[in-house]
Amino acid sequence: MGKPIDKIISSLEKQYMGYKLPPVVRGNPSKFKLLIRTILSARNTDDNAVAAAKLLFSKYKTPAEIARAPIRELEKLVKRGVFYKVKARNIKKLSKILVDKYNGKVPDSIEELVKLPGVGRKTANVVLSHGFKKAEGIAVDTHVFRVVNRIGIVSERTPLKTEQALLKVVPKKYWLNFNKLFVLHGRNICKARNPQCEICPIRRWCDYYKKEN
């Protein structure tokens, strides 16, 4: 029997009403800044990603400027967290593609976004949902992956399969805000270690809670 998605979403909406958005999407950044922040957040903290993006954009404002920037300079500016050299190369490459192919604009489809260097489905979905207010999928980051599989909304072993399974059971009307709600829940209550089940508003529908109690 499937989980009552409507009730779960409603409970999370009540729980996190008024909560601030995660740092990467906070402050209504431009679509390009959101794209860069999200790329920098991979295997990194959101705060580090935002700080690195702030440094980058303090010196280079546009895709054209980043495309022309020396790679060593870009590496120094985004040197927070792991894989910063790879991220710097990808940011430079995708900036050039945006200039050459999209007139400096971020494309608004998942098919085009995932063609950009360093952009996977999670990044593409974050940019589409928060930047364009478009729901073409569900961004599955570490929090979403953990929480939905722990609860038992789906049971999958990879983020891609988790997204594919979610799209089959979650009504499309919820796709736009799904990532935000489950990231907030993963950060605040359903943590990787020592989840706070006693205060969880959706524990009645959670497989993990039933197993542990």
Is the same domain home to 13 and 31?
Answer: no
Domain extent for 13: 5-19+137-212
pTM > 0.85: yes or no: yes
CA angle 176, 35, 126 (to 5 degrees): 20
The structural domain count of the chain equals 2
- In one letter, which amino acid is 77? L
Torsion of CA 100, 105, 110, 114, to 10 degrees: 40
Q: Check whether residue 30 and residue 15 sit in a common domain.
A: no
Distances (CA, A) of 31 to 46, 54, 56, 177: 17, 14, 15, 17
Which residues does the annotation mark as catalytic? 122, 141
C-alpha–C-alpha distance, residues 4 and 169, integer Å: 10
Q: With CA atoms as reference, report the closest residue to 182 among 114, 129, 133, 136.
A: 129
Q: Please report, in tens digits, the pLDDT of each residue of the chain (213 residues total).
A: 689 999 999 999 999 998 888 888 888 899 999 999 999 998 888 889 999 999 999 999 999 999 999 999 999 999 987 899 999 999 999 999 999 999 999 999 999 999 999 999 999 999 999 999 999 999 999 999 999 999 999 999 999 999 999 999 999 999 999 999 999 999 999 999 999 999 999 999 999 999 988
